[in-house]
Amino acid sequence: VINLQEQLDHQLQARQARETGICPIREELYSQCFDELIRQITINCAERGLLLLRVRDEARMTITAYETLYESSIAYGVRKALVAEQKRIDLDAKLRELAMAKRELQQQVENLKHTIESTQARSVQKRDAEEKVHAEELEKLMKGNESVKTQLETMLSAPKK
């Protein structure tokens, strides 16, 4: 067993296996070491060897299940990221459309304000002109009324013959 451990350490250094993280070289060397341990133990006690084989197979199935789950979650994450990116692009486009519509509506508001102001100005001018005409007409009528009144008084005050 000590000899096997020394061989494992030597192989890890020789093949430059990483000490941390996921390293396929390290995984392969540990797998070979475990298989050799199982072989040696099986020679001494077949039941222990078979039990270790079951443990090794279960560990490999568990690791395979974790790898599948990891790949599935990565794919899910990528899909969600793509959907989110598409949604962001769509929202950006909608934002630009709404900003353009807002500018157009603001321009319409400005145009309508100018129209209202010019209409009010024309209305004030027209009303002033009509008031002036009305005042002149009233003044004419008042003068005419005064003239008729004066004539009437003259006629009434004139001695009767």
What is the Cα–Cα distance from 118 to 100, expressed in whole angstroms?
A: 27
Q: Would you state the pLDDT for residue 25?
A: 85
CA distances in angstroms from 111 to 9, 63, 106, 125, 131, listed in the order given: 84, 71, 9, 21, 30
Q: 31, 29, 1, 34: which is closest to 16 by C-alpha? A: 29
Sequence-distant (≥ 6) Cβ neighbours of residue 35 within 8 angstroms: 56
pLDDT, tens digit (0-9, with 9 covering 90-100), for 41-92? 999 999 999 999 999 999 999 999 999 999 999 999 999 999 999 999 999 9
User: Which pLDDT tens digit goes with each residue over 142-151?
Assistant: 999 999 999 9
- Residue 77, CA distances (Å) to 19, 72, 81, 83, 85 in order: 28, 9, 6, 10, 12
Inter-residue contact 15 to 29 (CB < 8 Å): yes
Mean per-residue pLDDT of the chain: 92
Where does residue 160 fall: left (phi above 0), alpha (psi -120 to 50 degrees), or beta otherwise? beta
- Max CA pair span of the chain: 172
Name the H helices within the chain.
2-14, 24-44, 46-157
For residue 56, count CB atoms less than 10 angstroms from its CB and return exposed for 0-12, middle for 13-18, buried for 19 or more: middle
Residues of the chain above pLDDT 70, percent:
98
Contact 29, 8 (CB under 8 A): yes
Answer whether 0.75 is exceeded by the pTM: no
Residues 38/53, Cβ–Cβ less than 8 Å: yes
The whole-number pLDDT of residue 160 equals 63
